[in-house]
Amino acid sequence: MDDSEVYGRAADTSVSMTEFRNCVRDSGLEQLPFIGCPFTWHNCSEGPRSLWKRLDRMLANANWMDTWPNSSYISALPSTSDHSPLILNGMDRGEEHIIFRFDNYLAHLPGFLNSVEEIWRHRIVGTAMYETVCKLKLLKAVFRQQKRLKGNLTDNVRQAKNFLDKAQALFLL
């Protein structure tokens, strides 16, 4: 929100920047830390007319910062626009992340392939990685339901072992 956020020849914007800076301050907002290029807009000109500015930024209030103290964003390189995409990260509240766990026995249950195919046909808009993560989350719910129907695997193994131990003990008598 100062002259360091402009690279190249530009008209004087000090009045506008002062107004913006005051608005942000009066609103109780603060700028999130970022990684990447400090300039988020380019006028697509070359040579002496080339102009880079930091027009885009992520701001947060005190509640946000208290809830997500590690939040920051990435200022990525522009691809289809003259603006850089801003990618929010660091949303971890310190909670333990649960991994995606797949029990092989699920693949042998009736309807397994149909469940996977049905989920994979869902249309999800986003990057390939985002689509995959969303579909895995949907599958996780299906697998959890199938596990519940099948029962707790650990308990089932323990019961089977107890049954085997008793059967062997009877055989040895």
Rounded average pLDDT over 106-122: 87
What pTM did the predictor assign?
0.49
Parse the chain into domains and list their residue ranges.
1-95, 98-173
Residue 95 has pLDDT above 60, yes or no: no
Q: For residue 40, what are its two tokens?
A: 């988020």
- The residue to which tokens 């290029």 are assigned: 37
Provide the token pair at 128: 């390939």
Q: pLDDT by residue (tens digit) across 8-51?
A: 876 666 777 888 888 988 898 988 888 888 888 988 888 888 88
pLDDT given at position 117: 92
pLDDT band for 97, please (50, 70, 90 cuts). low
